Amino acid sequence: MEITVDSSVVNSVIRKVREEGGFAYAATVKQAGQDFQSAEAAREMAWEQLHCGPWHDVGQAWRDAYSMACLYVAAFKVRKGELKEAMKIVDMGVIMGGEGLRRESDKAIREIRDALARNEEGKESGEERWNMGMEMSLPEVRHLLPFKSLLNNIVEKQSSPSMEKFLCDYFLVGSPVVLVDCIDHWPACTKWKDIKYLKRIAGERTVPVEVGKNYLCPKWKTELIRFSDFLERILSNECNPENRTYLAQHPLFDQIQELRTDIMMPDYCFTGGGELQSLNAWFGPAETVTPLHHDPHHNLLAQVVGRKYVRLYPASITEDLYPFSESMLKNSSQVDLDKVDTNLFPKVQDLEFLDCILEEGEMLYIPPKWWHYVKSLTTSFSVSFWWASKKSNECEPIHASDATTGDRQFSADNLVSDV
């Protein structure tokens, strides 16, 4: 097995980096195919450029330059038989780098994965299932949840409604609904319950995770870790919220394509002439919290493993939910539903809301701009499909005008360590 980079791609990256003033990188990377030190030096130069300013200001040229140098370094690691190290390096290139080298990176990942699988043949077999703990009674569940949970307005459930019913009764009127019996045929519904399967498919891959109570807390941070280390953290059942690790809002299926084949895009996501905007994984232990926020898109949140509590407030009462005023956070509420400060936020206790426990195999439709708070009750693996209707002013009950698409998408700004 040999990791290679097409010379036309190399020349194009070098030209773009030169245009950005990266002459030292351009000179160094030319030797990177033959000389390990040059490959490492090029990777370091590009890494520095990725950290020169705010993440959103980093240009495509340097991101591609980083992915390319990662491939060169990984090629040396492969030659030395250091396959796991090579995988980590290429993954760093995929996560931090640009799209320009994506084809080469994906090919390298496939080859390293196959070589690793050959080495592991016959070692890992059988199944290991998630321990979901004891089934909790309703009062026990309520004890873990914010005030007034699961008492009044529970989200309606519908067993695989027709597209027409979904369109007329939920999508067009902007009303949440839990869809049941819609995803049972996904291979994910059986495969992701097996920890050994996840380890086999993704164990050596590097993924971004969030560590801390939730993304609004000061000590919250992002880390890049090996997927198998992440699985160990879930299994170790760490209770301290400061160390709670959540793989949240990550396009995992774009990164790890084998997992993409375990799920299917629900037909409901085509409602309104829709186009998929993002497909994200949400995977973590019990008691992860996504604080109250809203998103601009239609959302189907599919619960593949475990169960989650979801609370929903309509967009019409946005002002009563005290959104942050800073632009990055204005789609999040200042109210901590787990500990409401009634002096600061007096209106919240009396507001009406919808809520539900999203059970394994169910899918929740969250209309655009509906506020939602989510807490996992067990180890939980969910998938969200965000889509926008083409003629948003005809189909969307609420105009998704200026909301951010989420401030939690991976960024190098709050990354505390690399691998």
Contact string (CB under 6 A) for ligand AKG, positions 178-207, x = contact: ------------------------------
Backbone angles phi, psi at 367, to 5 degrees: -65, 160
Q: Smallest distance, Å, CB 226 to ligand AKG?
A: 22
Any idea what DSSP says for residue 256?
Answer: -
Pick between residue 74 and residue 388 the one whose CB is nearest to ligand AKG.
388
Q: Smallest distance, Å, CB 370 to ligand AKG?
A: 10
How would you class 33 by CB atoms within 10 Å of its CB: exposed for 0-12, middle for 13-18, buried for 19 or more? middle
Report the site for ligand AKG in 384-413 (rule: CB under 6 A).
384
Q: Which stretch binds ligand AKG (CB under 6 A): 30-38, 115-123, 139-147, 295-303?
A: 295-303
Q: Which stretch binds ligand AKG (CB under 6 A): 142-150, 293-301, 331-339, 395-403?
A: 293-301
Q: Smallest distance, Å, CB 256 to ligand AKG?
A: 19
SS3 (DSSP) at 131: coil
Pick between residue 203 and residue 367 the one whose CB is nearest to ligand AKG.
367
DSSP of 304-345? EES-EEEEEE-GGGGGGG-B-SSGGGTTBBS--TTS--TTT-
Q: Does 214 participate in binding ligand AKG (rule CB under 6 A)?
A: no
What is the amino acid identity at position 57?
A: D
Report the site for ligand AKG in 299-338 (rule: CB under 6 A).
299, 301
Any idea what DSSP says for residue 379?
Answer: S
Pick between residue 98 and residue 406 the one whose CB is nearest to ligand AKG.
406
Q: Smallest distance, Å, CB 290 to ligand AKG?
A: 3
Long-range contacts at 319-325 (CB < 8 A, ≥ 24 apart): 320/347, 320/348, 320/351, 321/292, 321/348, 321/351, 321/371, 322/347, 322/348
Pick between residue 38 and residue 290 the one whose CB is nearest to ligand AKG.
290
Q: Does 46 participate in binding ligand AKG (rule CB under 6 A)?
A: no
Q: Does 290 participate in binding ligand AKG (rule CB under 6 A)?
A: yes
Strand order in the sheet with 371-376: 289-293, 371-376, 308-313, 354-358
Pick between residue 74 and residue 398 the one whose CB is nearest to ligand AKG.
398
Q: Smallest distance, Å, CB 2 to ligand AKG?
A: 41
Give the H/E segment covering residue 63: helix 60-79
Pick between residue 47 and residue 268 the one whose CB is nearest to ligand AKG.
268
Q: Smallest distance, Å, CB 284 to ligand AKG?
A: 8
Rg of the chain taking only CA atoms, in angstroms:
23
Binds ligand AKG by CB under 6 A, chosen from 91, 104, 223, 295: 295
Q: Which stretch binds ligand AKG (CB under 6 A): 83-91, 206-214, 294-302, 336-344?
A: 294-302
> How is residue 339 written in tokens?
């500990």
Q: How far apart are CA 205 and CA 223, in angstroms?
A: 13
Q: Does 382 participate in binding ligand AKG (rule CB under 6 A)?
A: yes
Q: Smallest distance, Å, CB 156 to ligand AKG?
A: 19
Q: Smallest distance, Å, CB 408 to ligand AKG?
A: 9
Helices 60-79 and 36-50 sit at what angle, rounded to 10 degrees?
150
* CB neighbour list of residue 331: distance below 8 Å, 6 or more residues apart: 293, 294, 295, 296, 323, 403, 404, 406, 407
Q: Smallest distance, Å, CB 384 to ligand AKG?
A: 4
Q: Smallest distance, Å, CB 126 to ligand AKG?
A: 30
Q: Smallest distance, Å, CB 231 to ligand AKG?
A: 18
Any idea what DSSP says for residue 203?
Answer: T
Pick between residue 62 and residue 246 the one whose CB is nearest to ligand AKG.
246
- Residue 60 exposure: Cα atoms within 13 Å on the Cβ side: 8
> How is residue 9 written in tokens?
């791609």
Q: Is 142 left (phi over 0), alpha (psi -120 to 50) or beta?
A: alpha
Q: Does 282 participate in binding ligand AKG (rule CB under 6 A)?
A: yes
Backbone angles phi, psi at 209, to 5 degrees: -130, 160
Report the site for ligand AKG in 351-380 (rule: CB under 6 A).
372, 374
How many residues sit close enough to ligand AKG to count as binding (CB under 6 A)? 9
Report the site for ligand AKG in 95-114 (rule: CB under 6 A).
none
Q: How far apart are CA 410 and CA 249, in angstroms?
A: 8
Pick between residue 113 and residue 372 the one whose CB is nearest to ligand AKG.
372
Interface residues toward ligand AKG, by CB under 6 A: 282, 290, 295, 299, 301, 372, 374, 382, 384
